[in-house]
Chain A
Protein backbone atom coordinates (compact mmCIF):
# COMPACT_ATOMS: atom_id res chain seq x y z
CA UNK A 1 0.00 0.00 0.00
CA UNK A 2 1.30 3.42 -0.93
CA UNK A 3 2.35 5.36 2.18
CA UNK A 4 1.25 8.86 3.04
CA UNK A 5 4.26 11.17 3.03
CA UNK A 6 5.66 13.63 5.58
CA UNK A 7 7.75 16.37 3.98
CA UNK A 8 9.80 18.97 5.88
CA UNK A 9 10.29 22.19 3.94
CA UNK A 10 13.53 24.16 4.25
CA UNK A 11 13.89 27.79 3.20
CA UNK A 12 17.32 28.52 1.79
CA UNK A 13 19.00 31.89 1.34
CA UNK A 14 22.49 32.26 -0.13
CA UNK A 15 23.12 28.56 0.41
CA UNK A 16 22.12 28.50 4.11
CA UNK A 17 18.89 27.35 5.72
CA UNK A 18 17.01 30.24 7.32
CA UNK A 19 14.16 30.28 9.78
CA UNK A 20 11.73 33.08 10.20
CA UNK A 21 8.14 34.12 10.01
CA UNK A 22 6.86 35.26 6.64
CA UNK A 23 10.38 36.00 5.43
CA UNK A 24 10.89 38.42 8.32
CA UNK A 25 13.40 38.05 11.16
CA UNK A 26 15.42 35.47 9.30
CA UNK A 27 17.93 33.60 11.39
CA UNK A 28 20.63 31.27 10.16
CA UNK A 29 19.60 27.70 10.90
CA UNK A 30 22.63 25.94 9.59
CA UNK A 31 23.80 24.00 6.62
CA UNK A 32 21.23 22.50 4.25
CA UNK A 33 23.25 19.30 4.06
CA UNK A 34 23.33 18.79 7.83
CA UNK A 35 19.62 19.46 8.18
CA UNK A 36 18.82 17.23 5.24
CA UNK A 37 20.78 14.41 6.87
CA UNK A 38 19.02 14.99 10.17
CA UNK A 39 15.55 14.90 8.63
CA UNK A 40 16.43 11.89 6.54
CA UNK A 41 17.53 9.99 9.70
CA UNK A 42 14.42 11.07 11.58
CA UNK A 43 12.22 9.47 8.95
CA UNK A 44 11.24 12.24 6.54
CA UNK A 45 9.93 10.72 3.31
CA UNK A 46 11.07 13.57 1.10
CA UNK A 47 12.43 17.08 1.46
CA UNK A 48 11.56 20.37 -0.20
CA UNK A 49 14.10 23.18 -0.52
CA UNK A 50 12.70 26.58 -1.27
CA UNK A 51 15.32 29.07 -2.40
CA UNK A 52 14.55 32.63 -1.36
CA UNK A 53 17.87 34.11 -2.50
CA UNK A 54 17.36 37.29 -4.46
CA UNK A 55 20.86 37.82 -5.83
CA UNK A 56 22.08 37.20 -9.37
CA UNK A 57 24.23 34.36 -8.05
CA UNK A 58 21.04 32.48 -7.22
CA UNK A 59 21.22 29.77 -9.84
CA UNK A 60 24.85 28.94 -9.17
CA UNK A 61 24.40 28.58 -5.41
CA UNK A 62 21.25 26.53 -5.91
CA UNK A 63 22.96 24.06 -8.23
CA UNK A 64 25.83 23.67 -5.75
CA UNK A 65 23.35 23.12 -2.96
CA UNK A 66 21.53 20.43 -4.94
CA UNK A 67 24.80 18.63 -5.68
CA UNK A 68 25.79 18.62 -2.00
CA UNK A 69 22.39 17.47 -0.77
CA UNK A 70 22.15 14.72 -3.39
CA UNK A 71 25.50 13.35 -2.24
CA UNK A 72 24.42 13.32 1.39
CA UNK A 73 20.94 11.76 1.39
CA UNK A 74 19.29 8.74 -0.20
CA UNK A 75 15.70 10.04 -0.18
CA UNK A 76 14.04 12.17 -2.86
CA UNK A 77 13.99 15.95 -2.74
CA UNK A 78 12.40 18.85 -4.58
CA UNK A 79 13.85 22.30 -5.21
CA UNK A 80 11.88 25.44 -5.93
CA UNK A 81 12.03 29.20 -5.84
CA UNK A 82 12.23 31.41 -8.89
CA UNK A 83 12.75 28.64 -11.46
CA UNK A 84 11.51 29.89 -14.82
CA UNK A 85 13.57 28.31 -17.61
CA UNK A 86 13.73 24.78 -19.00
CA UNK A 87 17.52 25.05 -18.93
CA UNK A 88 17.43 25.76 -15.18
CA UNK A 89 15.23 22.73 -14.59
CA UNK A 90 17.66 20.59 -16.55
CA UNK A 91 20.64 21.88 -14.53
CA UNK A 92 18.92 21.18 -11.22
CA UNK A 93 17.74 17.69 -12.16
CA UNK A 94 21.15 16.79 -13.55
CA UNK A 95 22.72 18.02 -10.33
CA UNK A 96 20.66 15.41 -8.48
CA UNK A 97 17.29 16.96 -7.59
CA UNK A 98 14.36 14.61 -8.17
CA UNK A 99 11.74 17.26 -8.78
CA UNK A 100 11.42 20.98 -9.27
CA UNK A 101 8.54 23.03 -7.96
CA UNK A 102 7.26 25.80 -10.19
CA UNK A 103 5.07 28.63 -8.97
CA UNK A 104 5.09 32.17 -10.40
CA UNK A 105 6.73 31.14 -13.67
CA UNK A 106 3.91 28.78 -14.68
CA UNK A 107 1.26 31.43 -14.07
CA UNK A 108 3.03 33.66 -16.57
CA UNK A 109 3.97 30.79 -18.86
CA UNK A 110 1.71 27.73 -18.39
CA UNK A 111 3.40 26.00 -21.34
CA UNK A 112 6.48 25.53 -19.17
CA UNK A 113 4.64 22.76 -17.30
CA UNK A 114 3.96 20.84 -20.51
CA UNK A 115 7.45 21.31 -21.88
CA UNK A 116 9.10 20.32 -18.61
CA UNK A 117 6.94 17.24 -18.09
CA UNK A 118 7.52 16.08 -21.68
CA UNK A 119 11.26 16.45 -21.33
CA UNK A 120 11.79 15.22 -17.79
CA UNK A 121 8.62 13.27 -17.00
CA UNK A 122 5.64 14.56 -15.05
CA UNK A 123 7.00 12.97 -11.85
CA UNK A 124 9.71 15.67 -11.86
CA UNK A 125 7.30 18.61 -12.13
CA UNK A 126 5.54 19.91 -9.02
CA UNK A 127 3.09 22.78 -9.45
CA UNK A 128 3.25 24.93 -6.30
CA UNK A 129 0.09 26.96 -5.87
CA UNK A 130 -0.54 29.60 -3.20
CA UNK A 131 -4.22 30.41 -2.56
CA UNK A 132 -6.01 32.95 -0.38
CA UNK A 133 -9.72 33.14 0.38
CA UNK A 134 -11.25 36.59 -0.15
CA UNK A 135 -14.63 35.83 1.39
CA UNK A 136 -16.23 34.52 -1.78
CA UNK A 137 -13.53 32.64 -3.64
CA UNK A 138 -9.98 31.32 -3.48
CA UNK A 139 -7.58 33.43 -5.55
CA UNK A 140 -4.11 32.39 -6.72
CA UNK A 141 -1.15 34.51 -5.56
CA UNK A 142 2.36 34.60 -6.98
CA UNK A 143 5.78 36.02 -6.07
CA UNK A 144 5.79 34.52 -2.60
CA UNK A 145 2.26 35.71 -1.92
CA UNK A 146 2.92 39.35 -2.76
CA UNK A 147 0.92 39.56 -5.97
CA UNK A 148 -2.70 38.59 -6.54
CA UNK A 149 -3.66 37.09 -9.90
CA UNK A 150 -7.01 36.71 -11.67
CA UNK A 151 -6.82 32.94 -11.37
CA UNK A 152 -9.33 31.00 -9.29
CA UNK A 153 -7.62 28.41 -7.06
CA UNK A 154 -9.51 25.24 -7.98
CA UNK A 155 -9.59 26.08 -11.70
CA UNK A 156 -5.84 26.68 -11.76
CA UNK A 157 -5.18 23.41 -9.93
CA UNK A 158 -7.21 21.47 -12.52
CA UNK A 159 -5.42 23.29 -15.32
CA UNK A 160 -1.89 22.51 -14.09
CA UNK A 161 -2.81 18.83 -13.79
CA UNK A 162 -4.12 18.84 -17.36
CA UNK A 163 -0.96 20.58 -18.56
CA UNK A 164 1.18 17.76 -17.16
CA UNK A 165 2.18 18.59 -13.59
CA UNK A 166 2.89 15.40 -11.65
CA UNK A 167 1.91 16.78 -8.23
CA UNK A 168 0.24 19.81 -6.72
CA UNK A 169 1.76 21.49 -3.66
CA UNK A 170 -1.12 23.56 -2.31
CA UNK A 171 -0.36 26.27 0.24
CA UNK A 172 -3.17 28.06 2.03
CA UNK A 173 -1.93 31.58 2.70
CA UNK A 174 -4.75 32.08 5.19
CA UNK A 175 -3.48 29.19 7.30
CA UNK A 176 0.26 29.58 6.72
CA UNK A 177 2.01 30.32 10.03
CA UNK A 178 -1.24 30.16 12.05
CA UNK A 179 -0.84 26.58 13.35
CA UNK A 180 -4.65 26.25 13.07
CA UNK A 181 -4.53 23.26 10.77
CA UNK A 182 -4.54 22.73 7.02
CA UNK A 183 -7.37 24.12 4.87
CA UNK A 184 -9.30 20.83 4.81
CA UNK A 185 -12.26 22.14 2.84
CA UNK A 186 -10.19 23.23 -0.15
CA UNK A 187 -7.86 20.24 0.04
CA UNK A 188 -10.71 17.73 0.18
CA UNK A 189 -12.30 19.13 -2.94
CA UNK A 190 -8.90 19.34 -4.66
CA UNK A 191 -8.08 15.68 -3.92
CA UNK A 192 -11.37 14.62 -5.44
CA UNK A 193 -11.13 16.68 -8.65
CA UNK A 194 -7.53 16.03 -9.71
CA UNK A 195 -5.94 12.63 -10.27
CA UNK A 196 -2.39 13.76 -9.43
CA UNK A 197 -1.07 13.51 -5.86
CA UNK A 198 -1.79 16.50 -3.60
CA UNK A 199 0.63 17.88 -0.99
CA UNK A 200 -0.99 19.93 1.78
CA UNK A 201 0.87 22.98 3.04
CA UNK A 202 0.17 25.83 5.42
CA UNK A 203 -1.25 25.65 8.92
CA UNK A 204 0.10 22.49 10.54
CA UNK A 205 0.31 23.06 14.28
CA UNK A 206 -0.15 19.65 15.86
CA UNK A 207 -0.21 15.98 14.96
CA UNK A 208 -4.01 15.89 14.74
CA UNK A 209 -3.78 18.35 11.81
CA UNK A 210 -1.82 15.79 9.79
CA UNK A 211 -4.29 13.04 10.65
CA UNK A 212 -7.28 15.06 9.47
CA UNK A 213 -5.49 16.12 6.27
CA UNK A 214 -4.86 12.44 5.45
CA UNK A 215 -8.17 11.03 6.69
CA UNK A 216 -10.69 13.80 6.03
CA UNK A 217 -9.15 15.62 3.06
CA UNK A 218 -7.52 12.52 1.55
CA UNK A 219 -4.27 14.28 0.66
CA UNK A 220 -1.22 12.23 -0.31
CA UNK A 221 1.44 14.17 1.57
CA UNK A 222 1.73 16.85 4.25
CA UNK A 223 4.39 19.54 4.29
CA UNK A 224 5.47 21.56 7.30
CA UNK A 225 8.39 23.77 8.24
CA UNK A 226 8.58 25.39 11.67
CA UNK A 227 7.02 22.45 13.51
CA UNK A 228 9.94 20.31 12.44
CA UNK A 229 12.66 22.98 12.50
CA UNK A 230 12.00 23.93 16.08
CA UNK A 231 11.50 20.28 17.01
CA UNK A 232 8.01 20.99 18.35
CA UNK A 233 6.85 17.79 16.70
CA UNK A 234 9.53 15.17 16.02
CA UNK A 235 8.85 13.34 12.75
CA UNK A 236 9.14 9.93 14.45
CA UNK A 237 6.45 10.79 17.02
CA UNK A 238 4.19 12.09 14.28
CA UNK A 239 4.59 8.92 12.25
CA UNK A 240 3.88 6.60 15.19
CA UNK A 241 0.78 8.63 15.96
CA UNK A 242 -0.41 8.36 12.35
CA UNK A 243 0.29 4.63 12.31
CA UNK A 244 -1.72 4.11 15.50
CA UNK A 245 -4.56 5.88 13.75
CA UNK A 246 -4.43 3.58 10.74
CA UNK A 247 -2.64 5.85 8.31
CA UNK A 248 -0.12 3.96 6.17
CA UNK A 249 3.26 5.55 6.84
CA UNK A 250 6.85 4.48 6.40
CA UNK A 251 8.54 3.90 9.75
Chain B
Protein backbone atom coordinates (compact mmCIF):
# COMPACT_ATOMS: atom_id res chain seq x y z
CA UNK B 1 0.00 0.00 0.00
CA UNK B 2 1.19 3.49 -0.92
CA UNK B 3 0.37 6.41 1.35
CA UNK B 4 -0.26 9.64 -0.53
CA UNK B 5 0.04 12.41 2.02
CA UNK B 6 -2.69 15.06 1.91
CA UNK B 7 -1.69 17.78 4.34
CA UNK B 8 -3.79 20.54 2.87
CA UNK B 9 -1.07 22.05 0.74
CA UNK B 10 -1.88 21.91 -2.91
CA UNK B 11 -3.84 19.42 -4.89
CA UNK B 12 -3.30 15.70 -4.65
CA UNK B 13 -5.85 15.09 -7.44
CA UNK B 14 -3.22 14.87 -10.17
CA UNK B 15 -1.15 12.34 -8.23
CA UNK B 16 -4.33 10.36 -7.50
CA UNK B 17 -5.08 10.31 -11.23
CA UNK B 18 -1.55 9.20 -12.10
CA UNK B 19 -1.60 6.38 -9.52
CA UNK B 20 -5.04 5.31 -10.75
CA UNK B 21 -3.75 5.18 -14.32
CA UNK B 22 -0.85 3.02 -13.12
CA UNK B 23 -3.40 0.76 -11.37
CA UNK B 24 -1.58 1.10 -8.05
CA UNK B 25 -3.19 0.60 -4.66
CA UNK B 26 -2.92 3.73 -2.59
CA UNK B 27 -4.53 5.64 0.22
CA UNK B 28 -4.83 9.42 0.53
CA UNK B 29 -4.13 10.16 4.18
CA UNK B 30 -2.78 12.59 6.75
CA UNK B 31 -2.79 10.01 9.53
CA UNK B 32 0.61 9.35 11.15
CA UNK B 33 -0.08 5.68 11.83
CA UNK B 34 -1.31 4.97 8.31
CA UNK B 35 1.69 6.74 6.83
CA UNK B 36 4.14 4.82 9.00
CA UNK B 37 2.47 1.51 8.12
CA UNK B 38 2.58 2.11 4.36
CA UNK B 39 5.17 0.41 2.14
CA UNK B 40 5.88 3.58 0.17
CA UNK B 41 5.10 7.21 0.79
CA UNK B 42 4.44 9.95 -1.75
CA UNK B 43 4.79 13.48 -0.39
CA UNK B 44 3.40 15.95 -2.94
CA UNK B 45 2.89 19.66 -2.57
CA UNK B 46 2.32 22.95 -4.27
CA UNK B 47 1.95 26.26 -2.53
CA UNK B 48 3.91 28.09 0.12
CA UNK B 49 6.59 26.47 2.30
CA UNK B 50 5.93 28.02 5.72
CA UNK B 51 2.19 27.34 5.40
CA UNK B 52 2.94 23.72 4.45
CA UNK B 53 5.34 23.22 7.40
CA UNK B 54 2.74 24.64 9.76
CA UNK B 55 0.25 22.11 8.40
CA UNK B 56 2.73 19.27 9.01
CA UNK B 57 3.17 20.42 12.62
CA UNK B 58 -0.56 20.69 13.17
CA UNK B 59 -1.15 17.18 11.81
CA UNK B 60 1.68 15.87 13.99
CA UNK B 61 3.55 14.64 10.91
CA UNK B 62 6.73 16.72 11.17
CA UNK B 63 8.74 14.29 13.32
CA UNK B 64 7.20 11.19 11.77
CA UNK B 65 8.32 12.16 8.27
CA UNK B 66 11.89 12.84 9.45
CA UNK B 67 12.15 9.42 11.08
CA UNK B 68 10.46 7.37 8.40
CA UNK B 69 12.42 4.34 7.15
CA UNK B 70 10.23 3.46 4.16
CA UNK B 71 10.93 4.86 0.68
CA UNK B 72 9.47 8.35 0.42
CA UNK B 73 9.18 10.46 -2.74
CA UNK B 74 8.86 14.23 -2.35
CA UNK B 75 7.39 16.08 -5.33
CA UNK B 76 8.04 19.80 -6.00
CA UNK B 77 7.29 21.56 -2.69
CA UNK B 78 7.46 18.10 -1.10
CA UNK B 79 11.13 17.90 -2.07
CA UNK B 80 11.84 21.43 -0.85
CA UNK B 81 10.23 20.66 2.52
CA UNK B 82 12.75 17.83 2.95
CA UNK B 83 15.62 20.39 3.01
CA UNK B 84 17.01 22.14 6.11
CA UNK B 85 15.48 25.53 5.60
CA UNK B 86 13.45 27.47 3.03
CA UNK B 87 13.78 31.16 2.23
CA UNK B 88 10.09 30.98 1.30
CA UNK B 89 8.49 32.18 4.53
CA UNK B 90 11.90 31.77 6.28
CA UNK B 91 10.98 28.41 7.76
CA UNK B 92 12.86 25.45 9.22
CA UNK B 93 12.03 22.35 7.19
CA UNK B 94 12.41 18.60 7.79
CA UNK B 95 16.22 18.59 7.65
CA UNK B 96 16.53 15.36 5.69
CA UNK B 97 18.67 16.94 2.97
CA UNK B 98 21.29 19.23 4.58
CA UNK B 99 20.81 22.12 2.20
CA UNK B 100 18.77 25.32 2.02
CA UNK B 101 16.04 26.26 -0.45
CA UNK B 102 16.80 29.47 -2.41
CA UNK B 103 14.73 31.78 -4.60
CA UNK B 104 15.42 32.25 -8.32
CA UNK B 105 16.76 35.73 -9.04
CA UNK B 106 14.18 37.68 -11.11
CA UNK B 107 17.07 39.79 -12.49
CA UNK B 108 18.52 36.67 -14.14
CA UNK B 109 15.46 34.68 -15.17
CA UNK B 110 11.70 34.55 -15.38
CA UNK B 111 10.12 33.60 -12.04
CA UNK B 112 8.31 31.21 -11.64
CA UNK B 113 10.40 28.74 -13.64
CA UNK B 114 7.42 27.35 -15.52
CA UNK B 115 7.16 24.77 -18.26
CA UNK B 116 9.02 21.79 -19.72
CA UNK B 117 12.74 21.59 -19.04
CA UNK B 118 15.31 18.82 -19.41
CA UNK B 119 17.11 16.99 -16.66
CA UNK B 120 20.76 15.95 -16.84
CA UNK B 121 21.35 12.81 -14.83
CA UNK B 122 24.44 13.13 -12.60
CA UNK B 123 24.39 9.83 -10.77
CA UNK B 124 22.47 6.65 -11.41
CA UNK B 125 19.22 6.17 -9.58
CA UNK B 126 16.50 3.55 -9.66
CA UNK B 127 14.11 6.44 -10.26
CA UNK B 128 15.64 6.97 -13.72
CA UNK B 129 15.36 3.39 -14.92
CA UNK B 130 14.46 3.68 -18.62
CA UNK B 131 14.71 7.47 -18.48
CA UNK B 132 17.58 9.13 -20.29
CA UNK B 133 19.52 12.27 -19.58
CA UNK B 134 17.86 15.08 -21.53
CA UNK B 135 14.30 13.85 -20.88
CA UNK B 136 11.90 16.72 -20.35
CA UNK B 137 9.59 17.17 -17.38
CA UNK B 138 7.10 19.82 -16.33
CA UNK B 139 8.27 22.31 -13.71
CA UNK B 140 6.47 25.12 -11.86
CA UNK B 141 8.78 26.51 -9.17
CA UNK B 142 9.96 29.90 -7.92
CA UNK B 143 12.35 28.34 -5.40
CA UNK B 144 15.06 25.74 -5.91
CA UNK B 145 17.61 23.56 -4.16
CA UNK B 146 21.21 24.27 -5.21
CA UNK B 147 23.31 21.39 -6.51
CA UNK B 148 24.64 19.39 -3.53
CA UNK B 149 26.00 15.95 -2.55
CA UNK B 150 22.52 14.38 -2.72
CA UNK B 151 21.76 15.71 -6.21
CA UNK B 152 21.11 12.98 -8.78
CA UNK B 153 19.93 15.20 -11.65
CA UNK B 154 20.38 18.87 -12.48
CA UNK B 155 18.40 21.33 -14.56
CA UNK B 156 19.49 24.68 -16.01
CA UNK B 157 17.16 27.64 -15.60
CA UNK B 158 18.75 30.32 -17.76
CA UNK B 159 22.16 29.90 -16.18
CA UNK B 160 21.12 28.85 -12.68
CA UNK B 161 21.79 25.14 -12.18
CA UNK B 162 19.58 23.49 -9.59
CA UNK B 163 18.73 20.04 -8.25
CA UNK B 164 15.89 18.54 -10.25
CA UNK B 165 16.23 15.21 -8.42
CA UNK B 166 17.80 14.21 -5.11
CA UNK B 167 18.34 11.04 -3.15
CA UNK B 168 19.61 9.99 0.27
CA UNK B 169 19.04 6.57 1.82
CA UNK B 170 15.27 5.96 1.67
CA UNK B 171 14.48 9.55 0.70
CA UNK B 172 13.86 10.60 -2.91
CA UNK B 173 12.74 13.91 -4.30
CA UNK B 174 12.02 15.54 -7.64
CA UNK B 175 11.55 19.24 -8.30
CA UNK B 176 9.35 18.68 -11.35
CA UNK B 177 5.83 17.25 -11.47
CA UNK B 178 6.06 13.64 -12.72
CA UNK B 179 2.26 13.41 -12.45
CA UNK B 180 2.03 16.18 -15.08
CA UNK B 181 4.92 15.11 -17.29
CA UNK B 182 3.33 12.67 -19.71
CA UNK B 183 4.73 9.16 -20.18
CA UNK B 184 8.20 9.90 -18.76
CA UNK B 185 6.59 11.17 -15.56
CA UNK B 186 4.43 8.08 -15.19
CA UNK B 187 7.53 5.95 -15.77
CA UNK B 188 9.33 7.73 -12.92
CA UNK B 189 6.42 7.18 -10.52
CA UNK B 190 6.27 3.52 -11.56
CA UNK B 191 10.03 3.22 -10.97
CA UNK B 192 9.63 4.63 -7.47
CA UNK B 193 6.85 2.17 -6.68
CA UNK B 194 8.44 -0.91 -8.21
CA UNK B 195 12.17 -0.40 -7.76
CA UNK B 196 12.89 1.89 -4.82
Count of chain A to chain B residue pairs whose CB atoms are closer than 8 Å in the complex: 107
Q: Which of B35-43, B63-71, B175-183 contacts A (4 or more CB under 8 A)?
A: B175-183
Partner of B117, one of A3, A71, A118, A196: A3
A221 on the B face (CB < 8 A): yes
Tell me if A3 and B11 are in contact (CB < 8 A): no
Partner of B46, one of A71, A95, A124, A220: A124
Cβ of A121 and Cβ of B48 under 8 Å apart? yes
**Could you tell me which residues of chain A, from 96 to 119, have a CB within 8 Å of some CB in chain B?**
96-98, 118-119
Q: Give the size range of B's interface with the partner.
A: 35 or more
Query: Are B180 and A197 in contact, CB atoms less than 8 angstroms apart?
Result: no
Q: Is the CB of B180 within 8 A of A5?
A: no
> Could you say which residues of chain B place their CB within 8 Å of the CB of A75?
138, 180-182
CB pair B115 A71 closer than 8 Å = no
- Taking CB atoms, residues of chain A closer than 8 Å to B138 are 75-76
Within 8 A of B (CB), among A58-113: 67, 70-71, 74-76, 93-98
Tell me the complex Cα distance, A98–B177, Å.
Answer: 11
Instruction: Collect the chain B residues with CB atoms within 8 Å of residue A93's CB.
Output: 10-11
The answer on a CB contact under 8 Å between B114 and A167 is: yes
- Picked from B48, B110, B183, B186, the residue with its CB within 8 Å of the CB of A118 is B48
Is B115's CB under 8 angstroms from A123's CB?
no
Asked, given contacts A123-B140, A197-B110, A220-B110, whether A3 binds B46 with beta carbons under 8 Å apart, the answer is no
- B106 in contact with A5 (CB, 8 Å): no
Q: What's the least CB distance linking B124 to chain A, in Å?
A: 23
Chain A: minimal CB distance from B52 (Å)? 10
Contact B136 A71 (CB under 8 A): no
- Chain A residues at the B interface, C-beta cutoff of 8 Å: 1-5, 40, 45-46, 67, 70-71, 74-76, 93-98, 118-124, 166-167, 195-197, 220-221, 250
Return 9 A-B CB contacts under 8 Å, by A number. A2-B117, A2-B157, A46-B115, A97-B11, A98-B14, A122-B142, A195-B109, A196-B110, A250-B116
Q: Which 7 A-B pairs have the closest CB atoms?
A: A195-B106, A96-B13, A123-B140, A250-B116, A3-B116, A121-B47, A2-B117
